[in-house]
């Protein structure tokens, strides 16, 4: 395929464009993945799933790994601290349709790290290695790892974990260029991503502070990474991914749509969530998404406050539809 960058290859999967949707708790469910995939994601990743919870087959946990099918290839991300349980969970998600199994060594959330999962694993490189070896041995699909630089600034272990990952048979690595203790504060240091790319022979995916398509392409070229992963920046703005795909294919990026069109897509997202998950679950979940779609709008703060108080889909959509009409009426008419 002609373009300015080659596809990402993970095992037998050729991923184009080399843009990956980051795993986000309570966000990257099957509905959002199916909605956002057509904008230009080459690979989508599920919410990160507890390996311990998968042992019990709870309905909510199984829903987290469910797929529509249209968003394939799909990577299912697992977190945990026990190699044997992680291996069992990997077999479960593979049987449920995961094309790739991703190991979470990156999440800094206390609910994950308090049980030594996620980025807390980086405090014990030997345990990281044991988990990777167990998961690779458990499944017949590619295994990847997403990690941070280390637990804190004095323990940057990403290169050591990466070398052990490559030796264990891991097929690609994603690095979020912050430490666990940083959470999302400060700036992601892409010099570490470049260093990781130079240290291993498997594909490297760069992650962190990718909010502008041209800047993202520049970071990709400067670091030499094989792909990029975007997360928070794309929420409410999937058109960012379309712009990236345009640049990767050697075209000028399409302009972002006007406010009314963005909100019409938000309405479509809302209605799909209600249809798939029911109103009781969709209404509270969609409050945060509507907040993302409203970024940069005139009167957005007041609108968000009103939408936070709605209790039904009908109330919410009435406000959004009225906003669309108001925005359209306020647009200048061409001479």
The pLDDT tens digits for 61-114 are: 999 999 988 889 999 999 999 999 999 999 999 999 999 999 999 999 999 999
Tell whether the model's pLDDT for residue 332 goes beyond 70.
no
Tell whether the model's pLDDT for residue 17 goes beyond 50.
yes
Cβ atoms of residues 159 and 187 within 8 Å: no
Give the count of beta carbons closer than 10 Å to the beta carbon of residue 254: 11
* Residue 123 CB burial class (10 angstroms; 0-12, 13-18, ≥19): middle
Could you identify the residue written with the tokens 């395929």? 1
Mean pLDDT of the chain: 94
Tell whether the model's pLDDT for residue 182 goes beyond 90.
yes
Would you place residue 186 in the very low, low, confident or very high pLDDT band (cuts 50, 70, 90)?
A: very high
CATH architecture, domain 8-248: Alpha-Beta Barrel (3.20)
Contacts of 67 (CB under 8 A, 6+ apart): 30, 33, 74, 97
DSSP-derived pairing of the beta strands 49-50 and 143-148: unpaired
Give span(s): CATH 1.10.1200, the chain: 259-327
Please state which of the four CATH numbers 1.10.3470, 1.10.1200, 2.60.40, 1.20.1460 is assigned to the domain occupying 259-327: 1.10.1200
Q: Who has greater pLDDT, 59 or 81?
A: 81
The stretch 177-200 carries a mean pLDDT of 96
Give the count of beta carbons closer than 10 Å to the beta carbon of residue 17: 24
pTM to 2 decimals?
0.94
Which of 107, 121, 128, 141 is catalytic? The answer is 107
What is the model's pLDDT at position 200?
98
Round to whole Å and give the CA distance between 17 and 36.
Answer: 13
Active site residue 107: yes
Give span(s): CATH 3.20.20.70, the chain: 8-248
The stretch 147-157 carries a mean pLDDT of 97
Q: Of 24, 41, 70, 46, which is closest to residue 243 (Cα–Cα)?
A: 41
Question: What is the enclosing helix (H) or strand (E) of 283?
Answer: helix 279-293
Would you place residue 203 in the very low, low, confident or very high pLDDT band (cuts 50, 70, 90)?
A: very high
Would you place residue 334 in the very low, low, confident or very high pLDDT band (cuts 50, 70, 90)?
A: very low
The pLDDT > 90 percentage for the chain reads 87
Q: Of 332, 330, 305, 326, which is closest to residue 263 (Cα–Cα)?
A: 326
Would you place residue 45 in the very low, low, confident or very high pLDDT band (cuts 50, 70, 90)?
A: very high
What is the model's pLDDT at position 85?
97
């Amino acid at each position: 395929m002609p373009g300015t960058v080659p596809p990402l290859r993970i095992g037998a999967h050729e991923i184009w464009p080399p843009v990956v949707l980051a795993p986000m708790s309570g966000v990257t469910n099957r509905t959002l993945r199916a909605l956002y995939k057509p904008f230009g994601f080459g690979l989508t990743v599920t919410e990160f799933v507890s390996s311990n919870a998968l042992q019990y087959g709870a309905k909510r946990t199984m829903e987290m790994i469910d797929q529509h099918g249209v968003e394939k290839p799909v990577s299912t991300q697992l977190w945990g601290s026990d190699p044997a349980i992680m291996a069992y969970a990997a077999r479960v998600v593979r049987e449920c349709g995961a094309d790739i199994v991703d190991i979470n060594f990156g999440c800094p959330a206390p609910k994950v790290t308090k049980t030594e999962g996620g980025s807390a694993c980086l405090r014990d490189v030997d345990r990281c290695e044991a988990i990777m070896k167990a998961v690779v041995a458990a499944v017949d699909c590619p295994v990847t790892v997403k990690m941070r630089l280390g637990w804190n600034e004095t323990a940057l272990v990403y290169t050591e974990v990466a070398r052990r990952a490559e030796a264990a048979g891991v097929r690609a690595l994603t690095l979020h260029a912050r430490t666990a203790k940083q959470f999302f504060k400060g700036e992601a240091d892409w010099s570490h991503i470049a260093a990781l790319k130079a240290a291993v022979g498997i594909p490297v995916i760069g992650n962190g502070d990718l909010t502008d398509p041209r800047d993202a392409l520049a970071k990709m070229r400067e670091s030499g990474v094989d792909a990029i992963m975007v997360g928070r920046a794309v929420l409410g703005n999937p058109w960012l991914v379309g712009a990236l795909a345009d640049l990767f294919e050697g075209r000028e990026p399409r302009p972002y749509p006007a406010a009314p069109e963005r909100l019409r897509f938000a309405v479509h997202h809302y209605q799909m969530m209600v249809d798939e998950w029911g109103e009781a679950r969709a209404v509270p979940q969609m409050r945060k998404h509507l907040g993302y779609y409203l970024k940069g709008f005139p009167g957005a703060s007041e609108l968000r406050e009103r939408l936070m108080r709605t209790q039904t889909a009908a109330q919410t959509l009435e406000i959004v539809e009225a906003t669309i009409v108001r925005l359209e009426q306020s647009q200048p008419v061409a001479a």
